[in-house]
Structure 1
Amino acid sequence: MIGLAAMIGAGIFAALAPAAAAAGSLVFVALAIAALVAYFNANSSARLAAIYPESGGTYLYGTRRLGPFWGFIAGWGFVVGKTASCAAMALTVGAYAWPGNERLVAVVVVLAVTGINYVGVQKSAQAARIIVSFVLLVLAAVVVIALLDAGGVKAHSSATTVGFAGVLQGAGLLFFAFAGYARIATLGEEVQNPKRTIPRAIGWALGITLVVYGIVALAVLSVLGVDGLAAVSDPLAQAVASVPGAEWLVRVGAVVAATGALLSLVLGVSRTSFAMARDGHLTSSLAVVHPRFHVPHRAELVVGACVIALVLFVDLRGAIGFSSFAVLTYYLVTNVSAWTLAPGFKSRFVPVLGAVGCVVLAVTLPASSVLWGMVVLAVGAGTYWVRHRLT
């Protein structure tokens, strides 16, 4: 449920339109590429999580398989990238819930989510279950209404011609909507039988998400067509606008979905921060577990404070672009780590494809996102080098 809440979130409400603008009539090809790269990454994550069922995700895997520096780069990329994702999700909630007062709503939502995560992963999973169930009902309503209404719409296709770069850019945008399964791998110390539970949870969450995205995309395209989809910022709401009250239901669903994604994002970032602090890469004051709730409560509070700061000073587009680059770097380390697990073509085939996919999607992002992403990663690497030299 935590993985589903992270993936079936604001991405499905927002990523389809820019992806269609980039990929044109080949938007389903972009969706397939994004899903394929996500599968490769999930496969590598599951293999590593089964061997290292501890908190930290790829930060831990990179440290164990490649060395402390690469583990740090993965952890740094995850923390800064997903902190930006948290800000993006919070701003999405604000944009749908109270247009014109996005930042105020975002701050309130971050405070509420931090409070939920503070009392433990069990309650977080319960909240995620409720959120995912409601969002799936909303998406089901969108599919039914859109397919019933599709007969009255005349523009179902696009004559727009796009290059392969446009398809890859669309895949990169849609990949943002899939990137949630790693949240499961960061909870190795807080679930029962992690060697069995974590790989199964990753596989189920990714498979369900892919099916849901494909059905919703088909339904929306049947109403709006590719050109109409690319021209709007709220495609799911527009697809059901002909039915009274349905548009508001979709907007409520978007708010709930973004809140669910934020819930899981804060959970994953705080656990990775906790693991890095425990290993001395971040301040040791974050490596403290609450005696009653058994969660890294200081890391939770610091992450919440950082997200609030970003909400007050950055916009949604900038947060998403930077987050995508950092997260793809994180998964690049995941695949390289999985590559070291066993020799042979069969064992290394999927990690190689996953690593290549991460690099290709990363370089197709907007130039500003790539530039700022490289700068922040370089700052992290420089900090690590200075600390290593001093110690």
Structure 2
Amino acid sequence: MTIRSGPLARRLGLGDAVVIGLGSMIGAGIFAAFAPAAAAAGAGLLIGLAIAAVVAYCNASSSAQLAAQYPTSGGTYVYGRERLGEWAAFLAGWAFVIGKTASCAAMALTFAAYAAPAGWEKPVAVAAILALAAVNYFGVSRTAGLTRIIVVFVLAVLALVVIAGLTATGTPRADLGLGMFDHGWYGILQAAGLLFFAFAGYARIATMGEEVKDPARTIPRAILGALALALVVYILVAVTLLLVLGPERLAASTAPLADVVAPTDWTWAAPVVRIGAAAAALGALLALIAGIGRTSLAMARNRDLPAWLAAVHPVHKVPHHAEIALAVVVSLLVVTVDLRAAIGFSSFGVLLYYFVANVAAFTQDRQHRRYPKPVQVLGALGCIVLVATLPLVSIGVGICVLVVGAVGRLVVLRRRRARV
């Protein structure tokens, strides 16, 4: 059977690219990541958020600089291959695909937790995966259009939470200056690593570089623009959560944004917040499927994944085999994935992915350089520090997955050499 692997169509403008990046960042992470971050650092999660934002900026600028030079699908997998060699590319791509596949399962379960009747969470999660994979199958312009609708709705819900929390009367306010360092710097750095999970969506823009119009100009602007908008939203939500709930209640909450509006005069808003959380999870899942499909496509083109995954649909111009395979794998994962563990594992994979991006950007020549080299050095060091302070289970599972991928690639390479 002949596999069609032609070019993807350039259909996304600057607004579409920003929306896809923002839809990936303003997703289920903002509804799920603050509770484990508060458990790790208490009120110090605000410092952790600032650290995560700095590392995210360094990573985003490196990705933007690289994407302008290499505007094709695959993101850091392609950049690592061009700048550092095949092994660096493989490890970056493998870490991204595996980590984000776990994130897909977490997003689907988050959606089902808010939207499904009791006992029906897993079937609903699988249905969401299959439905959104179908949306991606029929073209990237549909992905951008649906993401735009979801982003607008979720931003409106988050604005509702912030206004309700900050204007409510009769509820005590926590003192943000107290207990900021009670959990120490290790806890703060662990919170930063967990919160980085919510920032990582700007990678989706770079992985879709082959579908963006005027990529050398559009991708850098879209990456940094989406990151800046997401940071403003995160700061407002984090401050509201800490003021209204306090660090202890926030750490114990399973639905912190809904808990913000529950004790206020805005109790009618709690169901709306739950709908917003479900929509955010759908938006993040939609963008994740698109991004993982493109990275898998790039790896399959270079035979780092099975060549069957390199197929591009002749009409819809999407990597349909990769997206079908992803939908099947994620559907299987939803029966075993734990949301909080998935956040740590996803952060492990994505931080290593961006470590490769920073090192690759460091090697670019002056003609293609947009940011000074110390930015890439800070980004690479930040990734390593945050990985080292993640929960030990996340680190252990992440290392095992990397080893399995590396061993598998060695076996494939040895067989290829034997055939020659």
Q: Same fold (TM over 0.5)?
A: yes
Instruction: Give 1:210 shift.
Output: 0.1
Deviation at 1:230, TM superposition (A): 2.2
1:202 paired with 2:220, answer no
SS of corresponding position for 2:324: helix
Q: Which runs of 5+ in 1 are unaligned?
A: none
Query: Among 149, 171, 179, which residue is 1:152 paired with?
Result: 171
Q: Distance in 1 between matches of 2:179 and 2:89?
A: 46
1:121 aligns with 2:140: yes
Q: Report percent identity of matched pairs.
A: 57
Gapped regions of structure 2 (runs ≥ 5) = 1-18
Any residues of structure 2 matched to 1:1-391 within 5 Å, and which? Answer: 1-98=19-116, 99-149=118-168, 152-157=171-176, 158-159=178-179, 161-241=182-262, 242=264, 243-342=266-365, 347-391=372-416
Query: How far, CA to CA, are the matches of 2:316 and 2:35 in structure 1?
Result: 41
Q: Please give the alpha-carbon distance, in whole angstroms, between the structure 2 residues aligned to 1:151 and 1:244.
A: 14
State whether residues 95 and 101 of structure 1, in contact with CA within 8 Å, keep that contact through their aligned partners in structure 2: no
Partner Cα separation in structure 1 for residue 170 and residue 44 of structure 2: 22
Q: Distance in 2 between matches of 1:327 and 1:268?
A: 13
Q: Distance in 2 between matches of 1:315 and 1:202?
A: 30
Give the deviation of 1:150 after TM superposition.
5.5
Greater Cα offset, 154-163 or 193-202: 154-163
**Distance (Å, rounded) in 1 between the aligned partners of 2:346 and 2:34:** 18
Name which of structure 1's ranges 318-327 and 139-148 shifts more when overlaid on structure 2.
Answer: 318-327
Aligned-partner residue type, residue 68 of structure 1: E
Task: State the one-letter code of the partner of 1:93.
Answer: F
User: Partners in 2 of 1:220 and 1:327 — Cα distance?
Assistant: 26
Q: Is the 8 A contact 1:82 1:265 kept in 2?
A: yes
* Conserved 8 A contact 2:80-2:88: yes
1:147 alignment partner AA: L
Q: Which amino acid aligns with 2:360?
A: S
How many angstroms apart in 2 are the aligned matches of 1:299 and 1:166?
Answer: 38
TM-superposed deviation, 1:312 = 2.1
* Contact 2:147 2:286 survives alignment (8 Å): yes
| One-letter amino acid of the counterpart of residue 143, structure 1 | V
Counterpart CA distance in 1 for 2:158 and 2:173 is 23
Q: What is the Cα deviation at residue 151 of structure 1? A: 5.4
Deviations 1:168-197 (A, max 9, x none): 011111111111000000111112111111
- Give the superposition deviation at 1:324: 1.5
The aligned amino acid for 1:7 is M
Any idea what SS the aligned residue of 1:100 has? coil
**CA offsets 1:214-259 (integer angstroms, 9 cap, x no match):** 1111222221222332232211111101223211111000000000
Q: Could you tell which deviates more after superposition, 347-356 or 40-49?
A: 347-356
